[in-house]
Amino acid sequence: MILKTALRAVAVAAAVLLPFAPSTGSAQEWRGWNIHAADYPNGRGLDRFGELVGQRTNNRIRMRTYHSAQLGQQDEAIQQMRLGSIDFANFNLSPFNNLAPSTNVVTLPFLFRDVAHSHAAIDGVAGQEIARDLEAIGIIALSWFDAGARSIYTTRPVRTPADLRGMKIRVQTSDLWIDLMRALGANPTPLPFGEVFTSLQSGVIDGAENNWPSYESTRHFEVARFYSTTEHSNVPEVLAVSRQRWQRLNEAERNILRDAAREAATLQRQLWAEREVQSRQRVVAAGATVIEITDRSPWSALMAPVYEKYTGSNPRLSNMVRQIRELR
């Protein structure tokens, strides 16, 4: 009798637990890519993601992040994730511009009013559209990291678009970025992130553009000492996993990953806000000159052709722009 009850209890427990059983019996090792150092907000977010997934799967899914671009530069890492040799990563959305059309929308210059506005967009409809496009190319978006506002920094002072004329400015590999820089009068030079420092040093380029934490952590401020607060783009970042891995997970595991990614993004966003302030202070203390651009209208006025080219003839994308603008 006791045995029967015990057996029944086991059967009931098995029935309840079965849908949550691991999709594969053995432990899995997942390789994660990060372009930044481990102590950068994004590195901390990725490590938290791995920790939570490990805990909640009883270490059946063990995640290890390779920081500081050990597994390659961003464009290569994206290809590797599509092929399934990188399992998870944090990517900026601009390197997807030529692959996933809706990522162009959130890269567009002067689109977001502030951080809250960019969160509302990416945590809402824009994020859903982007996740759909990324899935189609083999990448599953789980949550969104902050990347703050990007501004132009140069080896000579820049106060107006006229000052930028003919200067070689590094951009990420994206047609939109090339057109954006051209529209500002600069000479865009696509280069991997890891080559920017030496290219500035050797004079291959005269400047680049990025947020405060990247300007500081890469030490670009040592070679391009003028940071003009153009704040021309607030392109967000994604915490993603490879579709190949994702397809082999059961629903319970997917939920664990989704929750862990959301919690990691909450941490990253908090750390990001702190790091932006610290990075600005550090570069100023180290002698960088901040050129405050208070009136951005001469800059944004040049952007109409970029909007036209990337969204004008595409109802889906121009609709996204409209929806984002209407967000309050």
Strand partners, 209: 152
d(CA 297, CA 136): 37
In the bound state with ligand BDP, the residue whose beta carbon lies nearer, of 65 and 214, is 214
Q: What are phi and psi of 295, to 5 degrees?
A: -105, 110
Please tell me whether residue 297 adopts helix, strand or coil conformation: helix
d(CA 217, CA 290): 17
Structure tokens at 165: 């004329």
The answer to whether the CB of 252 falls within 8 A of the CB of 19 is yes
- Examine residue 183 and tell whether it contacts ligand BDP (CB under 6 A): no
In the bound state with ligand BDP, the residue whose beta carbon lies nearer, of 30 and 40, is 40
- Bridge pairing between strands 150-154 and 226-233: antiparallel
Query: What minimum distance in Å lies between the beta carbon of 247 and ligand BDP?
Result: 26
- Closest alpha carbon to 81 in 132, 131, 33, 136: 33
- Examine residue 149 and tell whether it contacts ligand BDP (CB under 6 A): no
Amino acid identity at 194: G
- Among 57, 97, 214, 279, indicate the residue that binds ligand BDP (CB under 6 A): 214
- Among 28, 210, 228, 233, indicate the residue that binds ligand BDP (CB under 6 A): 210
Q: Which stretch binds ligand BDP (CB under 6 A): 11-19, 48-56, 207-215, 294-302?
A: 207-215
Q: Which stretch binds ligand BDP (CB under 6 A): 97-105, 111-119, 181-189, 208-216?
A: 208-216
Interface residues for ligand BDP in 256-315 (CB under 6 A)? Answer: none
d(CA 37, CA 194): 12
- Among 49, 96, 153, 193, indicate the residue that binds ligand BDP (CB under 6 A): 193
- Among 28, 65, 74, 242, indicate the residue that binds ligand BDP (CB under 6 A): 74
d(CA 292, CA 276): 16
Q: Which stretch binds ligand BDP (CB under 6 A): 152-160, 210-218, 258-266, 293-301?
A: 210-218
Query: What minimum distance in Å lies between the beta carbon of 254 and ligand BDP?
Result: 25
CA distances to 163, 267, 324 from 328, rounded to whole Å, are 35, 24, 9
Please tell me whether residue 257 adopts helix, strand or coil conformation: helix
In the bound state with ligand BDP, the residue whose beta carbon lies nearer, of 186 and 249, is 186
- Examine residue 28 and tell whether it contacts ligand BDP (CB under 6 A): no
- Examine residue 35 and tell whether it contacts ligand BDP (CB under 6 A): yes
The answer to whether the CB of 141 falls within 8 A of the CB of 135 is yes
Query: What minimum distance in Å lies between the beta carbon of 97 and ligand BDP?
Result: 12
Q: Which stretch binds ligand BDP (CB under 6 A): 4-12, 209-217, 241-249, 309-317?
A: 209-217
Amino acid identity at 281: Q
Q: Which residues bind ligand BDP (CB under 6 A)?
A: 35, 74, 92, 147, 172, 193, 210-211, 214, 237
